[in-house]
Amino acid sequence: MRDYAATGAPPESLSVGNSSDVVMARQLVRTLAQRTGLSLVHQTKLVTAASELGRNMLIHGGGGIVRAATVDDAGRTGVYVEFEDRGPGIADIELALTDGWTSGDGMGLGLSGARRLVDEFGIESGPDGTTVRIVKWGR
Amino acid sequence: MTDRVPILRIGDVLLVSIQVELEDQMVMDLQDDLSQRIVDTGARGVVIDISGLDVVDSFVGRMLATNAAISRMLGAETIVVGMRPAVAMTLVELGLSLKGVRTALNLERGLKLLRRLAAGPADRA
Ligand SMILES: Nc1ncnc2c1ncn2[C@@H]1O[C@H](COP(=O)(O)OP(=O)(O)OP(=O)(O)O)[C@@H](O)[C@H]1O
Ligand SMILES: [Mg+2]
């Protein structure tokens, strides 16, 4: 995945420490998706993915920071969103990305489902935390 | 924080119309409130109108499925109505098929479906 954080417009950021912040993060991504001109279906998929990743960041990562920006690449425009936490990390990323796998009492669909809903998906995780980056492109 | 989703009673049907952006706590409160109201009122049906929701993620999706299961055990059928097309497409891709949740296009059809269910044998669709 390209380093969109370095190339795009300066991101809007929001710190997520409780569940109402997850709602705010959703709104931030929704506003950006609308401004970027994503279709309604693309907006819905992106905001849903952001909701899953924002909640993961809160529940599994103890909270963190969401950054979102409009990005351009080869004539297309999209929305880039990054979720960074300083939680315990994900020991086995492949496993975590398996449909139905959860370490808690969730459905284990958040991470794998979010990946399906976007066009680009990158994840880095270690003992110092987890960063998930996604991009949804417009047409 | 303490916002709650209102539950209206119309005859023996409870109507839940979700008009605001849902926070996780509201979702959990709704689950508690709804099962209590079913018991208190003896309602036979529940209609959950989600036409106001532009996003349904796995948390809300799970609430809809759990609600349907709990309500059924308490003797009430649940119909989810008003799902937006983009939400339906997203849920399928997310991997949430909402098995066990009855849906109808809109409120009117949902109420009709409830009436039909009430008239027919209890164990068939
Ligand atoms: N930011 C994170 N930090 C640490 N672990 C994480 C993080 N995100 C996901 N995980 C791990 O990956 C698993 C799978 O995540 P996923 O979102 O798919 O499922 P879930 O959150 O358990 O359930 P749900 O279906 O309700 O989202 C989690 O159970 C958790 O162990
Ligand atoms: Mg999750």
> Which member of A44, A109, A113 has the closest CB to residue B55?
A44
The whole-number pLDDT of residue B124 equals 45
Angle ∠(B81,B87,B90) on CA atoms, nearest 5: 140
Question: Architecture of A12-137 per CATH?
Answer: 2-Layer Sandwich (3.30)
Q: Which domain holds residue B21?
A: 7-118
Strand ranges (E), B18-111: 45-49, 77-81, 102-104
- What is the rounded CA–CA span in Å between residue B71 and residue B38? 7
> Tell me, what CATH number does B47's domain have?
3.30.750.24
Residue B26, strand partner residues = none
pLDDT tens-digit series, residues A69-118: 999 988 899 999 999 999 999 999 999 999 999 998 888 999 999 999 99
- Report the distance separating Cα B48 and Cα B52, nearest Å: 11
For ligand 1, pick from A111, A124, A130 the residue to mutate: most ligand atoms within 8 Å of CB: A111
Please state, rounded to an integer, the average pLDDT across all residues of chain B. 92
Give A10's pLDDT tier (boundaries 50, 70, 90).
confident
CA angle A136, B62, A124 (to 5 degrees): 40
What was the pLDDT predicted at B100?
85
B123 occurs within a structural domain: no
Ligand 1 binding pocket includes A96 (Cβ within 6 Å): yes
Arithmetic mean of pLDDT over chain A: 94
Domain presence at residue B2: no
Q: In A17-92, which ranges are E strands?
A: 64-73, 76-85
Please say if the pLDDT value at position A18 is more than 90: yes
pLDDT of B63 over the 70 cut: yes
Question: In terms of Cα–Cα distance, which of B76, B88, B95, B14 is closest to B48?
Answer: B14
**Per-residue pLDDT averaged across B72-76, rounded?**
96
- Locate all alpha helices (DSSP H) within B42-104, ordered by sequence: 58-73, 85-94
* Residues of chain B above pLDDT 70, percent: 94
Task: Say which residue, B69 or A7, is predicted with more confidence.
Answer: B69
**Does some domain include residue B52?**
yes
| Domain ranges, ordered by start, for chain A | 12-137
Interval A33-47: pLDDT, tens: 999 999 999 999 999
Report yes or no on B102 lying in a domain: yes
Distance from CA of B121 to the nearest CA of A (A): 33
The ligand 1 atom nearest the CA atom of A57: 1
Paired with A135 in beta bridges are: A80, A120
Hey, is the C-beta of B90 within 8 angstroms of any chain A C-beta?
yes
Q: For residue B100, tell me if it sits in a domain.
A: yes
Q: Is the pLDDT of residue A62 over 80?
A: yes
Count structural domains, chain B: 1
Percent over 90 (pLDDT), chain B:
84
Number of other CB atoms surrounding residue B1 within 10 Å: 8
> Residue B46: what pLDDT?
97
